[in-house]
Amino acid sequence: MRHWNARSARKKTIAITDNIIANDIDIFIITESWLAENDPVVIGELLPPGYSFMNFNRKGDEHGGIAIIHKSQISLQNYPSTTKTTYFEHASVVIKNTGLRIVTVYRPPPSKVNGFKTSQFLEEMESFLEDECLVPAKTIFLGDFNIHVDEPGKPEVARFLDTLVVNGLHQHIQEPTHISGHTIDLIISRPEDKLVSKSCVLPSLGSDHMLIDCVINCAKPAPLRVTSSVRNFKCMDKSEFTQNLTSEIEGLDLRGTADEMLGQLESSVSSVLDAHAPSQTRSRSLRPRFPWYNQEINDERCKRRRLERKWRKTRTDLDHVAYIEQSNRVNKLIQSAKEVYYNEALESSDCKNMFVVLNRLLNKNAKSLPCCDSALELSDSFARFLSPKLLKLDKNSVSIVAHVVV
């Protein structure tokens, strides 16, 4: 699981999705997402294949907001807190099969604009933690608390740390998480729950906050598998297939209704296909990989990974700069490959497929007819729906004509 204060995820979609794919992240939590309640295009860009999205935007303000990107096989459910807060945002979710709760916090820094004070935040946080710790479930608190826990001598920091001790909580992050050198992005849990087995601070993906990585003592979800039916047409004797299919079609009874004849044709074709190219069921793991990824991107990602490991070992500014430059190079390559992919897809598409590509870009679901087993039942449902409207329209037309005549 990872957390990052993105300070707007809108222009960092490539960095976020690539980080998720490259490291096989199960849950990626974003604070300061700056997303609206309905932001389908950006949300679509943030979602790798096989992942789902939860959006907790700040009502009435384009700033703030919490977003959670998670593997689709991990069933997350919103678990709203009963405690209402004013001086910080929070989002609570539960992993259904484990009962583990994840509570994400974002506290806006005090300013003349919002008029918030640290004392107000501390008082509200004390009440919040008291209520949340009464919930009989293992809980992880994480996020951007905007309080310098690396300076325990300050009164407000000492009060915050005392609040954690009183509620039996432990703060795991011990490294700077902000470019200012302070530790303000935290991971908090009860020591007796033994939830956090490992935590570390990683290079930023493009904001003034570092990336927080956390390994939870929880079973990793099994890869999402896709099952499909295939036929081996290459090994099929086409001439023999043509002869058998022709003889089957010639033997059809053409005295029935259209639906009956269609059913006979479908059955005949299926039987001939099963004889020459039997259907086989295959299952494969769904890999979260975009179609525009190529070998050059993979090579540069490997180089970026080596530079990241080197920086985490040496912690020198020179190695950090080299890693950032390589990360920017990878992002530019992905952006370029993505543009080429969609340009070619649009240029080679007819009118129908063009809308399919556009709907994918805009993260829109294509509308389809309602499911129905019978064509007659479907047409009858349309007739029942339209008849009252047509009758009403006809009566209005008659009244209009009468009014004109008068």
Helix, strand, coil shares of the chain, percent, nearest 5, are 45, 20, 40
Domain ranges of the chain: 2-216, 225-285, 295-361, 370-406
pLDDT computed for residue 222 by the predictor = 79
Backbone φ and ψ for 94, nearest 5 degrees, come out as: -130, 140
Q: Residue 19 belongs to what H/E stretch?
A: helix 13-23
DSSP 130-164: HHHTTSSS-EEEEEE----TT-TTSHHHHHHHHHH
Reading the chain (406 residues) residue by residue, the pLDDT tens digits are: 999 999 999 989 999 999 999 999 999 999 999 998 888 999 999 999 889 999 999 887 778 899 999 999 999 999 888 888 999 999 999 998 889 999 999 999 998 888 999 999 999 999 999 999 998 899 999 999 999 999 999 999 999 999 999 999 999 999 999 999 999 999 999 999 999 999 999 999 999 999 999 999 988 887 777 788 888 888 888 899 899 888 888 888 777 788 888 888 888 888 988 999 898 888 877 777 788 899 999 999 999 999 999 998 998 999 999 999 999 999 999 999 999 999 999 999 888 888 888 888 888 765 555 666 677 777 788 788 888 877 776 555 545 434 443 3
Q: Check: pTM over 0.85? Answer yes or no.
A: no
Looking at the DSSP assignment, which residues form a beta bridge with residue 101?
94, 139
DSSP 332-390: HHHHHHHHHHHHHHHHT--HHHHHHHHHHHTT-PPP-PPP-S-HHHHHHHHHHHHHHHH
The number of CA neighbours under 13 Å toward the Cβ of 374 is 6
Show Cβ contacts of residue 294 under 8 Å, excluding neighbours closer than 6 positions: 337
Show Cβ contacts of residue 288 under 8 Å, excluding neighbours closer than 6 positions: 20, 21, 24, 48, 49, 50, 51
pLDDT computed for residue 249 by the predictor = 84
pLDDT computed for residue 406 by the predictor = 39
pLDDT computed for residue 405 by the predictor = 39
pLDDT computed for residue 65 by the predictor = 94
Q: What is the maximal distance between C-alpha atoms in the chain?
A: 94
pLDDT computed for residue 371 by the predictor = 65
pLDDT computed for residue 367 by the predictor = 55
Arch. (CATH architecture) of 2-216: 4-Layer Sandwich (3.60)
pLDDT computed for residue 366 by the predictor = 52
Q: How far apart are CA 145 and CA 332, in angstroms?
A: 32
Looking at the DSSP assignment, which residues form a beta bridge with residue 27?
70
